Structure 1
Amino acid sequence: MSTTTSHTPESEGPVEGPSRPVRLIQNEATTEIPVHLLFRDDPDPVSVPPKPAVVARRQGTGEQPRLRRPGPARARTVPQTDPGLAECPARVLPGIAGVLAGLGGVAGCLATSWWAGALPRFTVTALGLPGAADAGPGPAQWAAYAGAGALGALGFAGLARGTAGRACVLALFGRYQGTVRRTGLLWVNPLLRRRRVDVRLRHWRSEPMPAADGHGVALRVVVLVVWRVRDTARAVLGVADHEAYLRDCVEAALARVPVNMPGGARGAVDAAGEALTRLVAADAVGIGLEVFSVQPVRAEYAPEVAAAMHRRRVAALDAQQRSSMLTSVVDSVEDTVTRLTMRGLVELDDYERKVLVRDLTVAFCSGRTESAP
């Protein structure tokens, strides 16, 4: 009679009876298993590497933990206009060039009229010009008229005046050509479309906008925004109305930043202003606006919660006043009893002390209540 022996792990010890396959997971206390055994599809046995990688699992269960790779932090997207759209100086000429061109066109028209004999005789005599054949204008004269007229029209029509604090955005058939920030008399191509932009430092006081405080109570807040146009190309051509866009950015920032009521902590008010400035500046930089400050100047409760918040505030003030009065009365009673006892004016047992404290408390409270407005 033969005896069949089977090889068992050392941790299990000798096992009597018929042989059975080796268990991969010995018991619920196992804390690690080889990775290659978890994802093996081939039923044939494979050799175990010398130092297999292991994956920990929860104590007492066969559930494998989910490995989460830390993903990249999502950055807040800022709206951007056409990346190729940026302010650049436009090509303009001094105004004297336009004046000379216009005067040259007028002189050319007069010369052509003399050539065609269309000038009156007294004008020719006054100018000291020789007489011309009175043959009337011909094809050559009409061509000269057209050239001189076009020169004069281009010269005078292209004159423009540049002023400090204002810029002029030029476009030809919808294509950006440049921005004029120069001052004085200039000559600009009359075929270009001109759009003036105020580039001075500006401030805008908003109308009451919806907001909320730190507890989510609805407010109406008026803010003061200090800003200016930095990139005229993006401000004029990158958005339909940059002032309306700025108002929308301020309203969106108020929806994300809690605003405290007036009379709160100074640090909280400054923090709210800094947060609003940072958000609005980040949203407006994409359209060429530079925001310096966004500060709440007035805040009040929304009409739907104003009455309830007023009652709540009055109740809080009343409770605070009562607490202050009670503290003052208790301090006065304690001081009075202590002085009477320490100076030996009276000798009180516990019962008499309680009665004295009660009477003094009632007297002080009555006096404070009558003296209060």
Structure 2
Amino acid sequence: MDSEKTINPPSGFAAFILFLLLLAAAGACFFIGEEPIGAAIGMLSIAFILPGLVIVNPNESKVLTLFGKYTGTVKKDGFFWVNPFTTKKKVSLRAFNLNGQQLKVNDSIGNPIEIAAVIVWQIKDTASAVFAVENYIQYVNIQSEAAVRHLANSFPYDNLEDETATITLRGGAEQVSMLLEKELNERLDRAGIEVLEARISHLAYAPEIAHSMLQVQQASAIIAARRLIVEGAVGMVELALTKLSEKNIVELDEERKAAMVSNLLVVLCGDKAVNPVVNTGTLYH
């Protein structure tokens, strides 16, 4: 398959002026009674000049083929004249925005999830886009869906069940986007298409496990919070005992220290407010 070849055809204004002159000449021939000559000139001007006039708008291109052979692509915007026998196919060079549909797939550890991506792409090789694939827009849609499915199957949703995972779909958004963009460029290179940006637009657990996974996340958050509370409480108890000992405020034996530690941990680690009890006797009563 030929790669893209950019051509710059002559201006169409000169050809259009020639068409008007020939049309005037044909009219003059009819006026002086030379109808056959005038008809021939008029037919030739209409058949060989008008079909070759081409208008190319900004950020568009015309792919030209002559009798089944690719002759080049006009990318410069303007008014041109090309071989009237060429077939002209318009190909847009603007950026396209693909908002992918939500896909239900399994992540790398088998959890069903919903995922979708937004992809920005444009054509960089018009010859490949037209001749290498049947329909480049459909090709982008299908390959994008395949790439998103492959990405979802490659990583876990998060590291709740796989603590060794270095990249997760939820936590590694930048890395996941870079990998998705790289894979899409590899898949779409055959069609001469470049992916400018690829981002995950929707990510969630599938409805059938969403409630269960929410409970897992809540439990994990509670455990992490409790761990932090216990670590802080132990530090505070240790500091309290150290200060009491350094300043000789009170002398505590091991049993009294154990009681104090127990009481402080209950106060500091409890999830509800405690009600103090005033002891009017000794520590042993």
TM-score (norm 1): 0.62
Q: Distance in 2 between matches of 1:364 and 1:303?
A: 38
> 1:209-268 CA distances to partner (integer Å, 9 max, x unpaired)?
445555443333333333321110110122122122223222222233345769988993
Match of residue 203 from structure 2: 299
1:102 lines up with 2:19 in the alignment: yes
Identify which range, 230-239 or 255-264, moves more after superposition: 255-264
Give the fraction of aligned pairs with identical amino acids, expressed as a percent.
Answer: 25
Q: Secondary structure of 2:90's match? A: strand
* Aligned counterpart, 2:174: 270
Q: Tell me whether 1:244 sits opposite 2:138 in the alignment.
A: yes
> 1:205–1:305: structure 2 CA closer, same or farther, 3 Å change rule?
same
C-alpha separation in 2, matches of 1:89 and 1:249: 27
CA distance in 1: counterparts of 2:13 and 2:262, whole angstroms: 99
Alpha carbons 1:104, 1:152 under 8 Å: kept:
no
1:369 equivalent in alignment to 2:263: no
Gaps of 5+ in 1: 1-83, 117-139
Q: Structure 2 vs 1, CA of residues 169 and 370 (structure 1 numbering), >3 Å: closer, same or farther? A: farther
Q: Which residue of 2 aligns with 1:171?
A: 65
Tell me how large the CA RMSD over aligned residues is. 3.0
* Residue identity matched to 2:264: L
Partner amino acid, structure 1, of 2:179? A
SS of match in other structure, 2:172? helix
Q: Which residue number in structure 2 is paired with residue 318 of structure 1?
A: 222
Alpha carbons 1:106, 1:149 under 8 Å: kept: no
User: Are 2:99 and 1:182 aligned?
Assistant: no
> Separation in 2 of the partners of 1:159 and 1:346?
104
Structure richer in helix, relative to its length: 2
State how far apart, in whole Å, the 1-side matches of 2:107 and 2:243 are: 49
Question: 1:148, 1:364 → 2: CA distance?
Answer: 101
Higher relative contact order (CA 8 A, sep 6+): 2
Deviation at 1:143, TM superposition (A): 5.2
Q: State the SS of the aligned residue for 1:324.
A: helix
**Greater mean deviation of Cα atoms: 217-226 or 276-285:** 217-226
Larger radius of gyration: 1
CA distance 1:154–1:303, change in 2 (3 Å): farther
Q: Report 1:107-186 matches (<5 A).
A: 107-116=24-33, 141-142=35-36, 144-186=38-80
Q: How many residue pairs end up in the alignment?
A: 264
CA deviations over 1:327-350 (Å, ceiling 9, x no partner): 222222222233223322222222
Q: Is 2:6 aligned against 1:89?
A: yes
Q: Matches of 2:56 and 2:71 in 1, distance apart?
A: 17
Change in 2 beyond 3 A, CA 1:171/1:302: farther
What is the match of residue 239 of structure 2?
Answer: 335
The unaligned stretches of length 5 or more in structure 2 are 160-166, 275-285
Contact 1:97 1:155 in 2 (8 A): no
Could you say which residue in structure 1 is the equivalent of 2:282?
A: none
The worse-fitting range, judged by mean Cα deviation, of 227-236 and 334-343 is: 334-343
Aligned residue type for 1:103 = L
Structure 1 stretch displaced more, 182-191 or 206-215: 206-215
Deviation at 1:91, TM superposition (A): 6.9
Q: Which amino acid aligns with 1:193?
A: T
Q: Distance in 2 between matches of 1:177 and 1:358?
A: 89
For residues 77 and 254 of structure 2, the distance between their equivalents in structure 1, rounded to whole angstroms, comes to 94
Q: 1:241 to 1:328 in 2, by over 3 A?
A: same
- CA shift, 1:145, in A, is 0.4
Secondary structure at the counterpart of residue 249 of structure 2: coil
Alignment-derived partner of residue 278 in structure 2 = none
The residue identity in structure 2 corresponding to 1:204 is L
Is the CA contact (8 Å cut-off) linking 2:29 and 2:37 kept in structure 1? no
Q: Over residues 165-192 of structure 1, what are the superposed CA-to-partner deviations in whole Å (9 max), with x where a residue is unaligned? A: 1111123454423211122111133433
User: TM-score, structure 2 length as denominator?
Assistant: 0.78
SS at match of 1:256: helix
